[in-house]
Amino acid sequence: MGYGARFFWQVLIVKVSIEPNLNSMGLRRTLAFSAVTGLLLVALSAPAEAGRRKRSEVPPPVVIDRTVFTPIVSGL
Amino acid sequence: MLRNQLAGISAVLFVGFALGGATTLASTTVYSLNSAGLPGGVFNGVDGWSQSEANFSIEYPRSYVQPFSGGVTGFSVGGFYDTEPFTGGNRLAVSRSISGHGARGAFLEVAFQLRDSEVLINPGNPGEGYFDTDRNQFSLGFSDLVSVVFQPVSQSADPSSDAAAWSPLISVGGGQEAFAGAQLQEDGLYTLGISLTGFSNGLRYAATLTDLGGTSLLSSGVIPGTSLSDPLPEVEVGWSLSGSEADGLGSNVIAISSLIVTVPEPSLPALCLVALLPLICFRKRER
């Protein structure tokens, strides 16, 4: 179960247990409130690496040639 | 008769050990890089190496297994993968402990190449550009004792059309000193050697940078605050921020294809003493 879905059920359970005599209107409001809160949480808890290039998206590092000669520039 | 024979054997052994010590380097390899794994695989934890800051996830390794020509496998440190910014300061260190040895007489030799920020956002469409252009700073050496820092000479917004260069500096005693005013170029294979020797009651360093053509530059000096009995510290490869982009990270890397640590052969003086013992005993008895 995702973070948002878990939060949705937690809010719903708390709300129902606090108000045992909920009418249909109140229940609808509670459901709507929980759904919006859950969606917001899902959006805000998106992984920080979203949009970053990862191993499965970048071709693996190529073989590096160990015979490349670039001289040390000295005496600068 | 037997006494003479033993004395002869003792003398031969002593001369043999002494000559053997004089003609060889009298050192023993206590560590040689043995990297293994698939190209791009996580290097943290391989062959006893560890990162100062964990990878954000295995999908974004800050050090990874690197293949080289000739079937050589080593490792790279840097931003080949578009990793998250560091959380523990502006530097990442990848280190390996070489415990149980003294620093005096130790020698580190590393074959390495510096690679510029050239990883494209979309390799299939170069028009989209790079995911990071910053050129970063790298370091190689003995942790907290002496290391050589490679500082980028300049930054570029288009790294693939601009040759990158790094100025080597000696980092010792909390300060940095110029390394003969030298510059290293991108992609070239270089070898860094750092030797530690005893000096009065402290340690000295001698660092050499050699290119594939055999040109070598030397920098040497005293390491402040050291003693002859100091233990051998960790070998460390560092990657630190030096750019101007928001996260300060570049996609450039330092690629290590070979790394060895040697210490003086401890048994040679002992062998000479053991070989001389019978001679000394006989001498005393004769008197």
Residue ranges per structural domain of chain A: 3-44
pLDDT at residue B195 tops 90: yes
Whether residues B90 and B193 fall in one domain: yes
Nearest to A70 among B67, B76, B187 (CB): B187
B35 vs A67: CA distance, rounded Å: 20
Whether residues B238 and B120 fall in one domain: yes
Whether residues B63 and B12 fall in one domain: no
A39 vs B190: CA distance, rounded Å: 54
The answer for B 167-196 residues in CB contact with A (under 8 A) is 167, 180-190
Whether residues B190 and B282 fall in one domain: no
Q: Please name the residues in contact with B135: beta carbons below 8 A apart, sequence gap of 6 or more.
A: B116, B117, B152, B154, B155, B156, B159, B164, B166, B242, B243, B250, B252
| Interchain contact B121–A (C-beta under 8 A) | yes
Whether residues B285 and B143 fall in one domain: no
State which residues form the domain around B54.
Answer: 27-264
* For range B181-196, the mean pLDDT: 96
B271 vs B172: CA distance, rounded Å: 36
Whether residues B88 and B209 fall in one domain: yes
**H-helix or E-strand containing A32?**
helix A24-44
Nearest to A61 among B39, B56, B70 (CB): B39
The pLDDT value given to residue B276: 64
Nearest to A63 among B68, B212, B217 (CB): B68
Whether residues B18 and B143 fall in one domain: no
Q: Please name the residues in contact with B132: beta carbons below 8 A apart, sequence gap of 6 or more.
A: B79, B82, B117, B119, B243, B245, B247, B249, B250, B251
Q: Which residue of B has its CA nearest to A49?
A: B84
Q: Please name the residues in contact with B65: beta carbons below 8 A apart, sequence gap of 6 or more.
A: B35, B36, B37, B38, B39, B40, B41, B42, B43, B46, B73, B74, B75
The answer for B 88-117 residues in CB contact with A (under 8 A) is 111, 113, 115
Q: Using an 8 Å Cβ cutoff, are A68 and B255 in contact?
A: no
Burial B21-43 (b: 16+ CB within 10 A, else e): beeeebbeeebebebebeebbbb
**pTM of the predicted structure, to 2 decimals:** 0.78
| Interchain contact B165–A (C-beta under 8 A) | yes
Whether residues B168 and B190 fall in one domain: yes
A49 and B57 within 8 Å at the Cβ level: the answer is yes
pLDDT at residue B198 tops 80: yes
Chain B closest-CA separation from residue A57 CA (Å): 9
A72 and B70 within 8 Å at the Cβ level: the answer is no
Backbone angles phi, psi at A4, to 5 degrees: -65, -45
Range with lowest mean pLDDT among B62-66, B69-73, B100-104, B129-133: B129-133
pLDDT at residue B222 tops 80: yes
Q: Using an 8 Å Cβ cutoff, are B42 and B64 in contact?
A: yes
User: Which has more confidence, A63 or A8?
Assistant: A63
Whether residues B39 and B140 fall in one domain: yes
Q: Please name the residues in contact with A43: beta carbons below 8 A apart, sequence gap of 6 or more.
A: none
* For range B78-106, the mean pLDDT: 94
How many other β-carbons are positioned within 10 Å of the β-carbon of residue B248? 16
* For range B250-270, the mean pLDDT: 87
Nearest to B116, CA basis, from B243, B253, B241: B253
A64 vs A26: CA distance, rounded Å: 66
Q: What pLDDT band is residue A46 in, cutting at 50, 70 and 90?
A: low
What the block records as the tokens of A57 is: 């998206």
Chain B closest-CA separation from residue A58 CA (Å): 7
Whether residues B231 and B287 fall in one domain: no
What the block records as the tokens of B194 is: 């750092």
Total structural domains in chain B? 2
Cβ-Cβ contacts under 8 Å, B67 against chain A: 61-64
pLDDT at residue B81 tops 80: yes
The answer for B 207-226 residues in CB contact with A (under 8 A) is 209-213, 215, 217
- B119-178 confidence digits (pLDDT tens): 888 878 888 888 899 999 999 999 999 999 999 999 998 898 899 999 999 999 999 998
Domain with residue B73: its CATH number is 2.60.120
Q: In this predicted complex, what is the ipTM?
A: 0.83
B30 vs B282: CA distance, rounded Å: 38
The pLDDT value given to residue A45: 54
B96 vs B73: CA distance, rounded Å: 17
